[in-house]
């Protein structure tokens, strides 16, 4: 518990619409410096209740001594009371409660998502309260699915699988949601086996057993797939097919083009005119660029809308950083939060999570932190050897997907672009490319992949690194390594 903890404050009871307690939060008060926040708390309580009217409600009580809560508030028995200083929810510059931050935490407890604030799992699959502030995206997904299937795009480690898990765990429109990981699917028979197992199995053990049995029979994949899709006719199913583009890449490594075309034609026919089934595909490889690269007929994917997971806006980024810090008991002033967010632009959650983790480690080691410390932590911790593995993961994607020759070509372009924050004009990049490889016919495809993988952005007939963090990483570790070779 914080060393400033006073024991005096306000207890927040959180109830669902059946009046069952879902959680309790204690907002402790330092003294007169928190009087504005305390004065506005009843108004904020009313505002929260307006926001959660359909899910439940909260109550607020003044508490003179935290230790007396078990005796005076027996409704808290059996619950862990989360404690926070009230000032972290008070915006001094605007003289108002941080309604969105407070509401996110209240909803996490109300809907049994976990703790009040999220944990920090940089790059990992997250669910519940750890899946932070993508409610507008989820609403957009369901809205678009009313008309078409959906292709969700974003690089690795940027939240696609987490989004699919949240959709799976919170279905709408009477859909049964089925998540299928396609990253290690190497043939149409693998695909048919995985879909069949996902539809029929009750748990992961049964899934694996069904898949293995189908693979052993070595039957015609179309027969098995047709049988499965016949079973689910007129069922409202939403297939959440993760890493579809990796599956295609596996196909091109192991199968003849004719076999791939047959599969894509069949899969397109299965979706054609379908009223009851919907499909969401995700891909760490840009499917649109991949289709052009492999000369695949675009009509196979004509029934898909595209939804790209964008970086957070500044306000969203500040909410995420606050949540990650406060959940670990690290209570920093607003100007420090703003400096953290300003350092990570664009505000990709993955990068914010990594940096915030380093901020927390620094704070715990030195017991304090100021705005002036942020550039030091950025330079020596975030770009230091201990964090290199997080950004190496994005480079490993290049090694895996681009292949040896294309990787060398990508490295030449990125090495050149890492020298200049302003970027390099396309004509100059083409000249450099030609001088190294004598043929620039695939440079547009390569730039398209690098743009999708958030390395690059195009602006005014020039390309530059989309993220200063990625540019510094590349210059410090990848470009420097090749200079030594």
Asked if residue 292 and residue 144 are part of one domain, the reply reads yes
Number of residues that this document lists for the chain: 485
The answer as to whether 129 is a domain residue is no
Q: What is the dihedral of CA 370, 371, 372, 373, to 10 degrees?
A: 60
CATH of the domain at 434: 1.10.10.10
Residues whose CB falls within 8 Å of the CB of residue 114, separated by 6 or more in sequence, listed in order? 108, 128, 129, 130
Asked if residue 325 and residue 241 are part of one domain, the reply reads no
d(CA 291, CA 301): 10
Is 357 strand, coil or helix?
helix
CATH of the domain at 214: 3.40.50.300
The answer as to whether 411 is a domain residue is yes
The answer as to whether 475 is a domain residue is yes
How high is the pLDDT of residue 485? 65
DSSP string across 375-390: HHHIIIIITSTTTHHH
How high is the pLDDT of residue 209? 95
Asked if residue 408 and residue 352 are part of one domain, the reply reads no
The answer as to whether 323 is a domain residue is yes
Q: What is the dihedral of CA 442, 445, 446, 449, to 10 degrees?
A: -170
Which among 334, 359, 382 is the end of a domain?
382
Contact call for residues 399 and 407 (beta carbons, < 8 A): yes
Asked if residue 398 and residue 349 are part of one domain, the reply reads no
Asked if residue 271 and residue 397 are part of one domain, the reply reads no
DSSP string across 356-373: HHHHHHHHHHHS---TTH
HSE, side-chain direction, 13 A CA sphere, residue 293: 21
Q: What is the dihedral of CA 295, 300, 302, 306, to 10 degrees?
A: -70
Asked if residue 158 and residue 98 are part of one domain, the reply reads no
Token output for 217: 């029979």
Contact call for residues 87 and 30 (beta carbons, < 8 A): yes
Beta strands 9-16; 21-28: pairing state: antiparallel
The answer as to whether 69 is a domain residue is yes
Inter-helix orientation angle 314-326/99-110, to 10°: 60
Asked if residue 298 and residue 372 are part of one domain, the reply reads no
How high is the pLDDT of residue 49? 98
d(CA 471, CA 450): 13
Asked if residue 188 and residue 325 are part of one domain, the reply reads no
Per the structure, the count of domains in the chain is: 4
pTM given for the model: 0.91
Residues whose CB falls within 8 Å of the CB of residue 370, separated by 6 or more in sequence, listed in order? 336
Is 483 strand, coil or helix?
helix
Which among 276, 308, 340 is the end of a domain?
308
Asked if residue 464 and residue 406 are part of one domain, the reply reads yes
Beta strands 149-153; 277-283: pairing state: parallel
Inter-helix orientation angle 188-200/257-271, to 10°: 30
Contact call for residues 210 and 248 (beta carbons, < 8 A): no
Is 27 strand, coil or helix?
strand
HSE, side-chain direction, 13 A CA sphere, residue 212: 6
Which among 308, 338, 355 is the end of a domain?
308
Is 328 strand, coil or helix?
coil
- Helix (H) or strand (E) holding 432, with range, is helix 426-437
d(CA 463, CA 429): 9
Largest CA distance in the chain: 81
Q: Which domain holds residue 403?
A: 388-484
Residues 423-454 as b or e (16 or more Cβ within 10 Å = b): bbebeebeebbeeeeeebebbeebbbbbbbbb
d(CA 10, CA 60): 7
The answer as to whether 128 is a domain residue is no
d(CA 54, CA 43): 19
Asked if residue 170 and residue 302 are part of one domain, the reply reads yes
The answer as to whether 392 is a domain residue is yes
Q: Which residues of the chain have pLDDT under 70?
A: 1-3, 129, 133, 485
Asked if residue 245 and residue 145 are part of one domain, the reply reads yes
The answer as to whether 130 is a domain residue is no
Strand partners, 281: 151, 241
Asked if residue 208 and residue 143 are part of one domain, the reply reads yes
């Amino acid at each position: 518990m914080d060393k400033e903890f006073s024991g005096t404050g306000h207890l927040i009871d959180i109830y669902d619409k059946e009046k069952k307690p879902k959680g309790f939060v204690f907002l402790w008060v330092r003294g007169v410096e928190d009087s504005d926040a305390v004065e506005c708390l009843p108004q904020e309580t009313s505002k929260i209740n307006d926001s959660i009217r359909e899910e439940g409600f909260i109550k607020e009580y003044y508490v003179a001594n935290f230790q007396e809560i078990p005796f005076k508030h027996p409704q808290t028995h059996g619950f862990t009371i989360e404690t926070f200083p009230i000032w972290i929810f008070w915006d001094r510059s605007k003289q108002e409660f941080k309604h969105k931050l407070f509401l996110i935490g209240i909803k996490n407890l109300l809907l049994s998502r976990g703790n009040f604030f999220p944990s920090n799992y940089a790059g990992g699959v997250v669910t519940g309260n750890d899946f932070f502030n993508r409610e507008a995206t989820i609403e957009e997904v369901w809205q678009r699915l009313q008309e078409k299937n959906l292709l969700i795009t974003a690089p690795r480690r940027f939240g696609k699988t987490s989004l699919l898990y949240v959709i799976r765990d919170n279905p709408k429109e009477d859909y049964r949601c089925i998540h299928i990981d396609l990253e290690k699917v190497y043939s149409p028979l693998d695909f048919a086996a995985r879909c069949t197992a996902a539809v029929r199995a009750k748990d992961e053990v049964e899934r694996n057993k069904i898949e293995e049995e189908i693979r052993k029979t070595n039957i015609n994949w179309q027969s098995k797939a047709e049988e499965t899709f016949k079973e689910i006719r007129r069922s409202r199913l939403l297939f959440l097919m993760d890493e579809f583009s990796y599956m295609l890449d596996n196909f091109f490594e192991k199968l003849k083009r004719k076999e791939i075309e047959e599969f894509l034609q069949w899969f397109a026919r299965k979706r054609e005119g379908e009223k009851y089934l919907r499909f969401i595909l995700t891909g760490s490889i840009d499917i649109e660029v991949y289709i052009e690269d492999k000369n695949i007929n675009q009509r196979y994917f004509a029934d898909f809308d595209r939804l790209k997971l964008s970086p957070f806006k500044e306000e969203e980024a500040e909410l995420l950083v606050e949540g990650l810090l406060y959940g670990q008991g690290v209570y920093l002033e607003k100007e420090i939060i703003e400096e953290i967010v300003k350092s990570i632009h664009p505000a990709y959650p993955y990068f914010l999570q990594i940096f915030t983790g380093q901020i927390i480690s620094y704070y715990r080691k030195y017991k304090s932190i100021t705005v002036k410390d942020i550039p030091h932590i950025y330079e020596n911790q975030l770009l230091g050897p201990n964090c290199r593995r997080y950004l190496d993961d994005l480079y490993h994607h290049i090694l895996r997907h681009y292949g040896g020759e294309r990787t060398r070509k990508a490295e030449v372009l990125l090495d050149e672009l890492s020298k200049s924050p302003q970027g390099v004009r396309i004509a100059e990049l083409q000249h450099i490319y030609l001088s190294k490889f004598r043929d620039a016919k695939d440079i547009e495809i390569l730039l398209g992949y690098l743009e999708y993988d958030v390395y690059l952005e195009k602006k005014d007939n020039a390309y530059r690194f989309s993220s200063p963090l990625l540019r510094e990483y590349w210059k410090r570790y990848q470009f420097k390594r090749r200079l030594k070779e």
